[in-house]
C-alpha cells in the first residue's frame, strides 16, 4: 500500500519505484484501464516518437472474423485525456510485439483478460526538465 498523498492506490511501491527509475525512451508493458489511468498521472509519454503507445496487431484469423477490441477505445480515451491531445497508438505484428515487450524496462502483470489488452508505453520527459 502506498501511503503518500497524490499517488493512486493502484500503484504499488514497487511500481512507483520502477516508474521513477525509468528514463526517457524506456518502455513499460501493462494491461488494464484502471492501472493505465493511474500510470498516466505519473508518467509523461514521449512526444518525440510517432507513437508512444503500442498495441499488438490482431492476427489475421481475428481480423477475418471481425474481432473487436473495445479495450483499445478505452486506452485511447485515457491516453488522450492524460496528454490533453490526440495521441496515435501504433500496432505491431504479434511476434515483433513479443520481442519488443521482452526489451521493455518493466512489464506489469495485471491479470487483464481483454483480448489484445496489452500495451507498451514509451516514457517521455516533462518540459523544462533535463
Q: Which residues constitute the domain of residue 88?
A: 13-122
- In this prediction the pTM is 0.85
93 inside domain: yes
C-alpha 70: how far from chain center = 16
Query: How many domains does the chain fold into?
Result: 1
Q: pLDDT tens digits, residue range 81-103?
A: 999 999 999 999 999 999 999 99
User: Which CATH number covers residue 69?
Assistant: 3.40.1650.10
Q: What does the angle CA 26 – CA 28 – CA 32 come to, to the nearest 5 degrees? A: 155
Alpha-carbon torsion (102, 108, 111, 117), positive or negative: negative
Angle 33-40/70-83 helices, nearest 10 degrees?
A: 10
Q: Which residues pair with 28 in a beta bridge?
A: 106, 121
Q: pLDDT tens digits, residue range 30-66?
A: 768 989 999 999 999 999 999 999 999 999 999 999 9
Q: Which residues are catalytic?
A: 24, 46, 98
Amino acid at each position: 500500500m502506498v501511503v503518500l498523498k497524490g499517488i493512486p492506490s493502484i500503484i504499488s511501491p514497487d511500481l512507483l519505484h520502477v516508474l521513477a527509475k525509468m528514463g526517457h525512451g524506456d518502455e513499460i508493458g501493462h494491461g488494464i484501464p484502471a492501472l493505465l489511468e493511474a500510470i498516466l498521472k505519473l508518467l509523461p509519454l514521449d512526444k518525440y516518437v510517432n507513437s508512444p503507445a503500442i498495441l499488438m496487431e490482431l492476427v489475421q484469423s481475428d481480423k477475418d472474423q471481425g474481432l473487436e477490441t473495445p479495450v483499445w477505445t478505452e486506452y485511447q480515451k485515457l491516453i488522450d485525456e492524460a496528454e490533453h491531445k490526440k495521441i496515435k497508438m501504433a500496432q505491431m505484428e504479434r511476434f515483433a510485439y513479443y520481442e519488443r515487450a521482452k526489451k521493455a524496462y518493466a512489464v506489469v502483470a495485471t491479470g487483464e483478460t481483454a483480448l489484445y489488452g496489452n500495451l507498451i508505453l514509451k516514457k517521455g520527459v516533462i518540459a523544462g526538465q533535463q
